[in-house]
Structure 1
């Protein structure tokens, strides 16, 4: 009985180690990568991976590499929403929104979209209404472009080559040739900008929230109608945005 418990515990540990490794990896891993990284025999890796794929936690892409699947994404999303730091997170957002006088929020990359994870609105009668859980495009929003800029050039161009990029406004950039110089500029200063590219008459800026390894975890954004604040006026609040992003990064490191 003791040996059965030990064997079961070892199997569970291996499953969790594989999920953790795939979730934290900067790039998709091969089964051989995982076997070497976790010191697990290749036959065991393939067996466990197949079980996780069958259950919808992981998937194998066209190159034979392991990536998170919907069930793992949904689990991570649920954990974030039930975080014990929700009250403190809301307090940081509220302080920032009061300083800027505009809606502030957090967006998280998920596949080829950004998801509004949290936000605090101001009481202005005119504002853009995007509820928590809204999906926004990555090629024409401040947070989406910031996320793209954090990827390697090959990775982001691979995404953009296969992504329909309809024109939302007269300023929307819809080709890799148009986007790449701007993404390189964003990568150099860690500051995403939306100059009426997603919604006519709205500007937005975004700064990264990074984990303790310095990897972009989420994006902190603010947006405003241009009749109230210009893009340059929003950019004047960059120091306050970075301070709040650092506070969020410290919260992530405590988890």
Structure 2
């Protein structure tokens, strides 16, 4: 089998599929609608190629157009829901997460690791803590998110070193830890302490406490968190009051997964 580095030179590589996905991924909250020229600039593809891809996606119902502007249609959600529907955890975790959120009065989220990001697969929100909208499918950089550090803690030493060496790391706030060796120390410590607390590293005013959710093999399959607004005594509350409840909920989700 070809390596990821040279796969796109092999006979199994489908360039048109790759390009079609690049066009879909070019749309985001900052660019919800674009002209053909703007999409060509974003993707680095020629106008002729982008035009054919857009017309095909429009024919399939995944893209709509209004004048010169193209945008994704609601049907694009089918692609994400196909993945979410294949995850037993989304159905098994939701009532437990809702109960936890009701009990502590804070938002609760569940995520997986995907490359250099975490991806939200379930969320129960009670208030908006971040300036960006968080919901199922939202992505955040793993290195400065508590759930990301929990998920990264399951990597072996060599794999973690490789991840840290390749990850795009930058300061998102004045408190963001960007030194790779320090991040390695923090992530390694999460392995033994079984939780991660992050304060204002991802966004000012946001704190987060996360724990692992383990599958039947003991692997960290998901990370579960509680998001908190920053304030006096928030760390003490997180560790003394919320950590036991969060850990118990993660264990219950894990048991449900193993029994599924």
TM-score range, shorter chain: 0.5 to 0.7
Equivalent of 2:129, from 127, 130, 150? 127
Q: What are the superposed Cα offsets for residues 86-144 of structure 1, whole Å, 9 maximum, x if unpaired? A: 5542211110001211000101111111001111111x4x5224121111111100011
Quote the Cα distance in structure 1 between the aligned partners of 2:191 and 2:158: 14
Partner of 2:61 in structure 1? none
Partner of 1:174 in structure 2? 178
- The answer to whether the 8 Å contact 1:106/1:118 transfers is yes
Q: What are the superposed Cα offsets for residues 188-242 of structure 1, whole Å, 9 maximum, x if unpaired? A: 1111221111011111010001001100000001111113871221222111111
Partner of 1:184 in structure 2? 188
Which has the higher mean CA deviation after the structures are superposed, 97-106 or 86-95? Answer: 86-95
The residue correspondences of 1:16-55 to structure 2 (distance < 5 A) are: 54=13
Quote the Cα distance in structure 2 between the aligned partners of 1:82 and 1:140: 28
Quote the Cα distance in structure 1 between the aligned partners of 2:162 and 2:224: 25
Deviation at 1:249, TM superposition (A): 1.0
TM-score by length of 2: 0.65
5+ residue gaps, structure 2, are 3-9, 16-77
- The answer to whether the 8 Å contact 1:141/1:198 transfers is yes
**Closer/same/farther in 2, CA of residues 144 and 254 from structure 1, 3 Å limit:** same
Equivalent of 1:251, from 250, 256, 259? 256
Matched, 1:98 2:102: yes
Partner of 1:38 in structure 2? none
The residue correspondences of 1:66-215 to structure 2 (distance < 5 A) are: 78-81=82-85, 86-122=90-126, 124=127, 126-128=128-130, 129-215=133-219
- The answer to whether the 8 Å contact 2:147/2:196 transfers is yes
5+ residue gaps, structure 1, are 1-29, 32-49, 57-73
Partner of 1:227 in structure 2? 231
Deviation at 1:183, TM superposition (A): 1.5
TM-score by length of 1: 0.66
Deviation at 1:174, TM superposition (A): 1.0
**Closer/same/farther in 2, CA of residues 88 and 211 from structure 1, 3 Å limit:** closer
Q: How many residues align?
A: 188
Quote the Cα distance in structure 1 between the aligned partners of 2:238 and 2:89: 27
